[in-house]
């Protein structure tokens, strides 16, 4: 029996969708903290179990009879390490054999606050736990691009603190498909995979592609983090959010998200979505 945590969220829910293609629903469990958000899973016969990463006894209860767990990492700005340790400890106590953890890509040693710090600590804790582990170092979601450049095509300029850095963007659903494939195949004991798109793109590339799709000049200009944050705050964004997005820019600038790996492509059996395809479907689908 496989248990997927974060099953009411994007990655967890999409992973269950892919699992259901070739695994009977009765062999899939979903850990959710709010059962009322999981009616789609109940309807499809998935075994829904209520628990919270902060509530250790609920986690031990939810892990009963489970062989394999996909721990979908907790959200930033909460005590991620405490939550992850609770899940790992509960898995061990309940007799789970193998735990997969969704970490973040690290193509360089840049440490992003609120994300990489707790991912590194979680990986260390997991490896010392005695459980069989598989670490999935997920690339930056294509879906996160709109946070960086806006949900409308920029008029003429993209201002972002990513320097000349590149990102090997990957669609979350393609990460989910790759994750489901890993969960249902053998040979991943104590292994680590970096799951990315097949190409890495700079913000100049993004500006160039948008420009060619929209038919007007759009350029990218690097900006420093304080100026970027001030501009976002003036546009109405909470400062903490602006700072967090800026940190992703800094991560890109320092190469953390730049490496390309062919694991997703091999698991999908095709090239993952390219930048141009993603921009088309996101910004131009209604035209
Ligand atoms: N690689 C990237 O670009 C990227 C970007 C953003 C985030 N991430 C990381 O990847 C994770 C998955 O991404 P996502 O897009 O699926 O995020 P998401 O849609 O926000 O889903 C997060 C899931 O975690 C659950 N959760 C949060 N706190 C919990 C708790 N205390 N106990 C039990 N469940 C809890 C949420 O439950 P509710 O539905 O009840 O809220 C939700 O199901 C994120 O949590 C974050 O760590 C990666």
Average of per-residue pLDDT values in the chain: 97
Probe ligand 1: pick from 3, 5, 8, 9, max atoms within 8 Å of CB?
Answer: 9
Tell whether 224 is covered by a domain.
no
Kindly tell me if the per-residue pLDDT of 145 is higher than 90: yes
Tell whether 14 is covered by a domain.
yes
Residues with CB under 6 A from ligand 1: 6, 8-12, 33-34, 37, 52-54, 72-75, 83, 102, 104, 138, 140-141, 144, 172
Tell whether 64 is covered by a domain.
yes
Tell whether 157 is covered by a domain.
no
Tens of pLDDT along 149-193? Answer: 999 999 999 999 999 999 999 999 999 999 999 999 999 999 999
- Cα of 149 from ligand 1 centre, angstroms: 22
Tell whether 267 is covered by a domain.
no
Q: Tell me the C-alpha distance between 60 and 121, whole Å.
A: 22
What's residue 113's pLDDT? 85
What's residue 235's pLDDT? 93
Tell whether 246 is covered by a domain.
no
What's residue 286's pLDDT? 62
Percent of the chain whose pLDDT exceeds 70 = 99
- Cα of 188 from ligand 1 centre, angstroms: 23
Tens of pLDDT along 114-133? Answer: 899 999 999 999 999 999 99
Tens of pLDDT along 31-88? Answer: 999 999 999 999 999 999 999 999 999 999 999 999 999 999 999 999 999 999 999 9
Which residue's CA is the closest to the ligand 1 atom numbered 31? 53
Q: Which domain holds residue 108?
A: 2-138+171-195
Per-residue pLDDT band at 285 (split at 50, 70, 90): confident
Residue 36 in tokens? 């009322």
Work out how many domains the chain is built from and give that number: 1
Report yes or no: 86 and 56 within 8 Å, Cβ to Cβ.
yes
**pTM of model > 0.75:** yes
Per-residue pLDDT band at 97 (split at 50, 70, 90): very high
Q: Which atom of ligand 1 is nearest to the CA of 83?
A: 31
Instruction: Count Cα neighbours of 209 within 13 Å in the Cβ-side half-sphere.
Output: 17
What's residue 218's pLDDT? 98
Tell whether 207 is covered by a domain.
no
The Cβ of residue 43 has, within 10 Å, a number of other Cβ atoms equal to: 9
Q: C-alpha distances in angstroms, 174 versus 66, 165, 180?
A: 25, 23, 10
Helix, strand, coil share (%) of the chain residues, nearest 5: 45, 15, 40
- Cα of 40 from ligand 1 centre, angstroms: 18
Tell whether 120 is covered by a domain.
yes
What's residue 223's pLDDT? 97
Q: Which atom of ligand 1 is nearest to the CA of 73?
A: 47
Kindly tell me if the per-residue pLDDT of 287 is higher than 60: no
- Cα of 199 from ligand 1 centre, angstroms: 25
Probe ligand 1: pick from 11, 51, 144, max atoms within 8 Å of CB?
Answer: 11
Percent of the chain whose pLDDT exceeds 90 = 98
Q: Tell me the C-alpha distance between 86 and 204, whole Å.
A: 42
CATH number at residue 186: 3.40.50.720
């Amino acid at each position: 029996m496989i248990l997927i945590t974060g099953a009411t969220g994007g990655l967890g829910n999409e992973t269950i969708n892919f699992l259901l293609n070739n695994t009977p629903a009765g062999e899939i469990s979903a850990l959710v903290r709010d059962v009322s958000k999981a009616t789609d899973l109940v309807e499809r016969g998935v075994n829904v179990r209520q628990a919270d990463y902060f509530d250790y006894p609920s986690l031990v209860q939810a892990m009963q009879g489970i062989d394999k767990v996909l721990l979908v990492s907790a959200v930033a700005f909460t005590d991620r390490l405490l939550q992850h340790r609770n899940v790992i400890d509960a898995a061990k106590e309940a007799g789970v054999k193998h735990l997969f953890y969704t970490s973040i890509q690290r193509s360089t040693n840049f440490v992003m606050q609120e994300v990489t710090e707790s991912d590194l600590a979680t990986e260390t804790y997991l490896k010392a736990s005695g459980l069989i582990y598989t670490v999935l170092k997920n690339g930056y979601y294509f879906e996160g691009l709109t946070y960086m450049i806006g949900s409308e095509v920029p008029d003429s300029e993209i201002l972002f603190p990513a320097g000349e850095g590149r990102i090997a963007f990957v669609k979350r659903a393609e990460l989910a498909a790759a994750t489901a494939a890993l969960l249902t195949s053998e040979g991943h004991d104590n292994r680590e995979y970096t799951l990315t798109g097949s190409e890495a793109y700079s913000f100049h590339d993004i500006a160039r592609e948008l420009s060619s799709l929209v038919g007007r000049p759009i350029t990218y200009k690097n900006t420093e983090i304080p100026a970027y944050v001030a501009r976002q705050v003036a546009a109405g964004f909470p400062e903490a959010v602006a700072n967090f997005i800026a940190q992703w820019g800094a991560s890109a600038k320092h190469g953390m998200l730049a490496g390309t790996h062919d694991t997703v492509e091999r698991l999908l059996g095709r090239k993952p979505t390219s930048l141009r395809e993603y921009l088309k479907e996101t910004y131009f689908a209604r035209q």
